[in-house]
Structure 1
Amino acid sequence: MLDNPRSPRVRAVAKLSKRDARTETRTFLLEGPQSVGEALAFRPELIVELFGTPTALERYPAVSAAAEAEGIDVQFVTEPVLEAMADTVTPQGIVAVCRQFPTSVKDVFAAEPKLIVILEEVRDPGNAGTIIRAADAAGADAVIMTGRSVDLYNPKVVRSTTGSLFHVPVAVGVELAGIVDRCREAGLQVIAADVKGDDLLAARGEGVLAAPTAWLFGNEARGLTDVDLGRADRALVVPIYGHAESMNLATAASVCLYESAFAHRS
């Protein structure tokens, strides 16, 4: 039983809430039974260490069973130790340290994608994680995050994906101009989601979304620059029919991705 919240081992895990520590170790923090369960189910080889309180492991026996099936030891810890490790205020009693595993751009396009997501300067970790989750749900083939976006392994990003991080390939640290060129070479149209764009419903009627598509989403506050908008083949906007001042980026992205998913399957 690991019971000292100030031990070097506990402090090393806690440091993964900081980007410098994640970069240095090439690992990241994974919290909660849902996310840890997805890692065990889809990418167990990435788990370096797995910790849990006896109470939590009793409450979530599937996690213990999956870890045992994969030959992964679970280190029992006390509640204070778990709280010291976790990034959340009210952790759920299970955390893991995982190896980082970004996908290469080469591999993204080698898979001949039909629907991908490009995030340019998306800085809010909750938005980034939720968009990855939406991309997974809509059946997107990959997510590509430019170097101006939030760190993929930020704990809030990881939590917001609720395990989808282990389902959909994600490439990071790329330049937008180069990615747009690669999309066109691969036969994908690039559609920017932007308030200056044409109506999404009208585009649906034109059959535009049935083609292989890379959706481009920009910064939450500023959107895309005119230069970046000019890189896209077309810009579309999700119409607001009520009185809302605007729409959350992740919500708008979910609508756009599902419009493409419906069009591809109709």
Structure 2
Amino acid sequence: MHITSTKNPQIKHLKQLQSKSKLRVDENSFVIEGVREIEMALTHHYHIVKVFIAEDFYQADLKFEEHTQVIRISSNVYQHLAYRSSTEGIVALCKSPKHNLSHFKTHAENPLVLVLESPEKPGNIGAILRTVDAAKLDAVMIADPKTDLYNPNTIRASLGAVFSNSIVLGSSDEIYEFLNDNSFNMYSATLQNSNSYLSENYKTKTAFIMGSEAYGLTTFWRQKPNIQAINIPMKGQIDSMNLSVSSAILIFEALRQRESIV
């Protein structure tokens, strides 16, 4: 098959998936653009249904499963689909896996996880997932999500780390209950009644809990008696940092204590 019209039903469907979160959620499908990102999805066993290749731009040699349909598209159709300015000539239609707590498994004796409550900015989520991949955390748990995980901006900002991490989606109640039942030491990043993050021990089962960019943590997490509030001391006049930066500081302090990195 060779598609040359932007009005082709398959192309119109891809465009809708790129822009409509509800459709992505309803169909458990999303669009991946770029060689690196598609390769990451393949490496981590995502189910790629169709691949659309513009032969004028495509230079890679990715290997797909037999069930994956490969469709050639013209240059103008690809440019119509392309979300990024780079032109690698490949777009994929992929199925979304399950991300609920029942699918989360770890063999680590003292797992380290990051909990994000209602993060709103896909770019921030993507940046955090890159940090999580770099640190090899056991999981990212997104509580009460406000944006779907496979927003094109999240995929792009993560450089494909959205595919390499163990990610859990659930309500705050579900995630708190899981952490509590499994004897995690929980630390909330908030200024109220908090200790310096450098004064705590993160060598046992640890969960860092981070609030949204706009509102911070809700009272649900701040009022739990078994969650220790921690802060990152700052010298200047600003009393908060970007969510991805704050997360990285806490994560790598935990790794330093665990002697996982030099």
TM range (shorter): 0.7 to 0.9
2:75 to 60, 68, 79: 79
SS in 2 for 1:56: coil
Deviation at 1:97, TM superposition (A): 0.9
Alignment: residue pair count: 254
1:40 corresponds, among 30, 34, 42, to 42
Structure 2: tracts of 5 or more residues without a match: none
User: Which of 230, 234, 238 matches 1:236?
Assistant: 230
- Counterpart code for 2:54: T
Q: Secondary structure at the match of 2:56?
A: helix
Percent of residue pairs identical: 25
When normalised by structure 1's length, the TM-score is 0.86
Report the alpha carbon displacement of residue 111 of structure 1 after superposing the two structures with TM.
4.5
CA deviation after TM superposition for structure 1 residue 219, in Å: 0.9
CA distance in 2, matches of 1:109, 1:49: 29
Give the aligned partner of residue 139 of structure 2.
142
Question: For residues 21 and 88 of structure 1, do their structure 2 counterparts lie closer, same or farther at Cα, with a shift above 3 Å needed?
Answer: farther
For structure 1, list consecutive stretches of 5 or more residues without a partner in the other structure. Answer: none
Give 1 or 2: higher helix fraction: 1
Aligned pairs for 1:244-259 (under 5 A) are 246-259=240-253
Residues 169-197 of structure 1 show CA distances to partners (whole Å, capped at 9, x for unaligned) of 2121x221331121122121111112333
- Given that 1:193 and 1:235 are in contact with CA atoms closer than 8 Å, whether structure 2 keeps it comes out as yes
Quick one: distance in 1 between partners of 2:143 and 2:238? 29
Kept in 1: contact 2:14–2:93 (CA 8 A):
yes
**Does 2:147 correspond to 1:153?**
no
How far residue 108 of structure 1 moved from its aligned partner, in angstroms, is 1.8
Partner of 1:261: 255
Aligned to 1:24: 26
Amino acid at match of 1:178: E
Task: Indicate the residue corresponding to 2:52 in structure 1.
Answer: 51
Cα deviation, residue 245, structure 1? 5.6
For residues 184 and 135 of structure 2, the distance between their equivalents in structure 1, rounded to whole angstroms, comes to 17
What displacement does 1:106 show?
2.2
| Counterpart residue type for residue 83 of structure 2 | D
Residues 120, 212 of structure 2: 8 Å contact kept = yes
For 1:53-202, what aligned pairs fall within 5 Å after superposition?
Answer: 53-58=54-59, 61=60, 64-67=61-64, 70-71=65-66, 72-88=68-84, 92-109=88-105, 111=107, 114-172=111-169, 174-196=170-192, 197-202=194-199
Note the alpha carbon deviations across 1:33-69, whole angstroms, 9 max, x for none. 11011112222x51011112213322xx2xx2433xx
Supply the distance in 1 between the matched residues of 2:114 and 2:104 (Cα, whole angstroms).
Answer: 11
Deviation at 1:31, TM superposition (A): 1.2
Residue 222 (structure 1) shift: 1.3
